[in-house]
Amino acid sequence: MLRTISPQDMQEMERAFLDGTLYPSILLMEHAAQAVVDALAACVDARSRVLFVCGGGNNGGDGCAAARLWIQRGGQAEVWLLKSPSQMRGDAGVNACLLNACGASLNILYGDVPEVPDSCAAVVDALYGTGLSRPLEGVSLAAVQRINACDLPVISVDIPSGVDGATGRVLGDAVHASVTVAFHRAKHGHLLFPGRELSGRLIVADIGILAEWDGAQGIDVLEDEDARALLPIRAADAHKGTFGHVLIVAGSKGMAGAACLAAQSALRAGAGLVTAACPFSVLAPLQNSVPCAMAQVVSDGPALDARAANALRQLAEGKRAIAVGPGLGKAKGTWQAIEELIGGDGPKVVDADALNLLAQHGGRVGANTVLTPHPGEMARLCGATVQEILDAPVEYAQQLAADMNACVLLKGATTVIAQGEDVAMNMTGCDAMGTGGCGDVLTGVIAALMAQGMPPMDAARVGAFYHGRAGEAAGRALGARAVTAWDVCDHLRIE
């Protein structure tokens, strides 16, 4: 499992390790530089000339050490420094002062920043690390712009310079890296956009910090083995009742597809039985498209209304999980129909129009609930703007989870899942999933996993993982532009 760490926790943990073990800090810098050179050697010939752009702090020290190691391997190094070696302190100063003796070509950037030399085959970005907290300006900004204009492979040291290591936000401007070599653990900003895109291919390198000194909390990111390990075991003598009965409350006139997608995906995700509660207008499309699901009409009108509340109450009895929201519409009567379901304590997923109705009318969310908003729905629930949600997805997910006493899955290119003290991110998925109905598929998947006994947090993060994998598979099979939500559902493989 990949587990991120905040820049602040990384700094505190590294200091505790060095103080507690008396391990020489310059050796950590040497290990970091070696990892950078290894990544560089995979990109260009070992005899190539490489430009190392180094700041005045420890990130720059890593870059200086990498330049020395590159020369020792037989390559050539041109080094741009923001400070003269005599002005650099500690381990960074030691490594900067060694460069002249190694035959590096040094250029101190006091004023104008030149273009990247044509003779260089790659650039190593070692300007600023994960602790940067202010926008780039002056010479630093000009250096980043030169790096981005050079059209060469760029290897960033720990994080692309200009990316906030905690949030992934860009501070003024930032390096567009081909490869980023992160140290010890990935930082939050490597996985949150736009930092995730700017980081290129991420390599997490061991720099010698012993595992027993790393007790810092972080954000978990499931990988294939982790997701499989969390899935419930399916017994050889199991039957449809073993795997739970899911109630899907979805659909309205013109939005029958939402109910169909949620019901079909619940079946694909392993639910033993699925019943869709819907208005009459949804019945025919649902039975034609999803013949393996049962259907129960609970409203004669185009959408659910208050008169459906009693029927829904009865249908919910004995169900292992409920999914409510896709395609329901936003009428007040629909809220009156579903309010009791949302306030109940049984396992449930609340999505789409149910979230909008919840934001509009307020109300209690019962225990064992997974809320699955996209940024627009999240903004309405939190009383914020969409941009504010995008700028701080982890913080908003944690806050809403605390306020609602629920598990919150905030959809996005990097999905954030939060419940209590637990936070996870999902990295699977692709642009092929930017099509209507994919959220309905996710709703059905999570509900099915909850019906099979998974707790909300596990069902949400495992569901997001396999939902993303299905999108990737559909994109490979059909091409991103051709994928529909039904294709994502067809490519679900949860095993």
List, for residues 61-70, the tens digit of each pLDDT value: 999 999 999 9
Q: What is the pLDDT of residue 78?
A: 98
Alpha helices, H only, 44-193: 58-72, 90-97, 99-102, 138-149, 188-191
Q: Which amino acid is at 68?
A: R
User: Position of tokens 């409920």?
Assistant: 322
Range 241-268 average pLDDT: 98
| Sheet with strand 415-419: strands edge to edge | 2-3, 220-221, 422-426, 415-419, 407-410, 369-371, 348-350, 321-324, 245-249, 273-279, 294-299
Range 258-271 average pLDDT: 98
Helix (H, G, I), strand (E, B) or coil at 277: strand
Q: What is the pLDDT of residue 58?
A: 97
Range 351-357 average pLDDT: 98
Q: What is the pLDDT of residue 338?
A: 98
Helix (H, G, I), strand (E, B) or coil at 473: helix
pLDDT tens-place string over residues 32-69: 999 999 999 999 999 999 999 999 999 999 999 999 99
User: Position of tokens 């393996």?
Assistant: 292
pLDDT tens-place string over residues 265-315: 999 999 999 999 999 999 999 999 999 999 999 999 999 999 999 999 999
pLDDT tens-place string over residues 334-343: 999 999 999 9
Share of the chain above pLDDT 70, in %: 100
Residue-wise over 148-168: b if at least 16 C-beta within 10 A, else e? bebebbbbbbbbbbbbbbbbb
Q: Residue 25 pLDDT > 90, yes or no?
A: yes
- Can you give the pTM of this predicted structure? 0.96
Q: Residue 363 pLDDT > 90, yes or no?
A: no
Helix (H, G, I), strand (E, B) or coil at 406: coil
How far apart are alpha carbons 52 and 161 in whole angstroms?
13
Q: What is the pLDDT of residue 111?
A: 86
Burial of residue 481 (CB within 10 Å: 0-12, 13-18, 19+) is: exposed
Q: Residue 452 pLDDT > 90, yes or no?
A: yes
Neighbour tally for 86: CB within 10 Å: 8
272 contacts 244 by C-beta, under 8 angstroms: yes
pLDDT tens-place string over residues 190-205: 999 999 999 999 999 9
Q: What contacts 388, CB < 8 A, 6 or more positions away?
A: 379, 396
How far apart are alpha carbons 214 and 451 in whole angstroms?
36
Best CA proximity match to 417, nearest among 449, 385, 489, 436: 449
Best CA proximity match to 132, nearest among 111, 160, 108, 112: 160
470 contacts 457 by C-beta, under 8 angstroms: no
Q: What contacts 427, CB < 8 A, 6 or more positions away?
A: 191, 196, 221, 414, 468
How far apart are alpha carbons 270 and 254 in whole angstroms?
28
Share of the chain above pLDDT 90, in %: 99
Which helix (DSSP H) or strand (DSSP E) does residue 278 occupy?
A: strand 273-279
Range 173-193 average pLDDT: 98
> pLDDT band at residue 167, thresholds of 50, 70 and 90?
very high
- Cα 22 off chain centre by: 36
Helix (H, G, I), strand (E, B) or coil at 228: helix
CA distances, 164 to each of 132, 160, 194, 436 (Å):
6, 9, 10, 32
Best CA proximity match to 175, nearest among 207, 208, 147, 217: 147
How far apart are alpha carbons 460 and 300 in whole angstroms?
33
The values of phi and psi at residue 323, to 5°, are -120, 125
User: Position of tokens 């013109």?
Assistant: 254
Q: What is the pLDDT of residue 38?
A: 98
Range 9-33 average pLDDT: 98
CA distances, 167 to each of 162, 339, 390 (Å):
12, 35, 10
> pLDDT band at residue 226, thresholds of 50, 70 and 90?
very high
Give me the numbers of helices (H) and strands (E) for the chain, helices first please.
20, 18
